[in-house]
Amino acid sequence: MQTMTHRFTAELRRLERDSHEKCSSCGRPFRHADTAHAGYSSDGGVLFVGDCCKSQVAETAVRYYWMERAYATPEANATLWRYMDFAKFAALLKDRSIYFARADQLGDPWEGAKGAIPNKPRWDQHYLRFFRESLRNPPPGVDFNLSDKEVEKEANRLLSEFASAGERDLRRTYVSCWHENEFESEALWRLYCPPQSPGIAIQTTLSALNASMGNDPSIQIGRVRYVDFRSHFAGINEAFFRKRQSLSHEREVRAVIRPNGETSLGVLRPAVLPALLKAIVISPFAPSWFEPLLREVMTRFGADAPTKPSDLLLQPFF
């Protein structure tokens, strides 16, 4: 078996992200606990394959048991919206960057939650059992030689660190929220651009959002899944892609980053605006003076994107 080199290029990480569900060579879908091989062919091409095509891998960067991702990825041409007031849009144009808010600043007290407090004893017992078993059955060549009392003490210490890590994740995870829908949402207009306030919605696609940020494989972009936390836990890799069912109207697709050492309340990621801005939709509640101002500001910042009125302004007949 080849030694793993752990050499990853941006191209290989991008392939691993984009071809996560299937072998990049033959297209065979991965199944839980299949072995995935990420590496390079003899001519230097990148590969992310299963055992079916592992003979094509001349250099193995890493191999591991495959698992489903914590989130589902929309289709490349899925329509995404970002509703915002005029000040935030002006900041986007000036900075030419997408703003990612720190997770604990998003306004949802359940952001990053693993479950509901009444279920925490079940969660704790599950991981205590896991830690005890791991300490009593270490990998070959490792001998902890711990007494039962020491195992219990160490398992509880690990559980405490586990909980602290969840709190820390809130302060090192950054999120940009988008709405997936073929059509406009009147509810989101009212939430983010209430009547008589100037606002817009960016209309884009998943592939355009990705391309605007350089197809960076370190940025996770996926659908939020809405769950009933009374009976559901969010795994440690799922927490920032799980929200309460009461928020399901958001139909959120989010981009998530975890910059090393970053602790500020928000970070900016440079974005190529012509790639991102497929259309700018003007709020149906905006005052009459807003559209000329919007066009003037877009011209000043060199934002060449089509603007259009909201479909909510269409009039019925009877």
Flag residues of the chain having pLDDT under 70: none
DSSP state, 72?
P
How far is it, in rounded angstroms, from Cα 112 to Cα 318?
48
**pLDDT score at 75:** 95
Q: Are 209 and 221 spatial neighbours (Cβ–Cβ below 8 Å)?
A: yes
Q: Are 208 and 108 spatial neighbours (Cβ–Cβ below 8 Å)?
A: no
Nearest alpha-carbon partner for 267 in 198, 213, 200, 203: 213
- Count of CB atoms within 10 A of residue 70's CB? 18
pLDDT above 90 as % of the chain: 90
The one-letter code for the residue type at 58 is A
Q: Give the C-alpha distances (Å, rounded to integers) separating 8 from 14, 60, 105.
A: 10, 10, 33
**pLDDT score at 50:** 96
**pLDDT score at 138:** 83
Contacts of 123 (CB under 8 A, 6+ apart): 114, 115, 233
**pLDDT score at 200:** 97
**pLDDT score at 262:** 81
**pLDDT score at 269:** 96
**pLDDT score at 22:** 95
Nearest alpha-carbon partner for 100 in 180, 208, 173, 169: 173
Q: Are 294 and 86 spatial neighbours (Cβ–Cβ below 8 Å)?
A: yes
How far is it, in rounded angstroms, from Cα 275 to Cα 205?
10
Residue ranges of the domains in the chain?
10-65, 79-107+173-313, 117-166
Question: Residue 270: which H helix or E strand, with range?
Answer: strand 266-270
Contacts of 45 (CB under 8 A, 6+ apart): none
DSSP state, 52?
G
How far is it, in rounded angstroms, from Cα 35 to Cα 33?
6
77-88 per-position pLDDT tens digit: 999 999 999 999
**pLDDT score at 14:** 94
**pLDDT score at 108:** 96
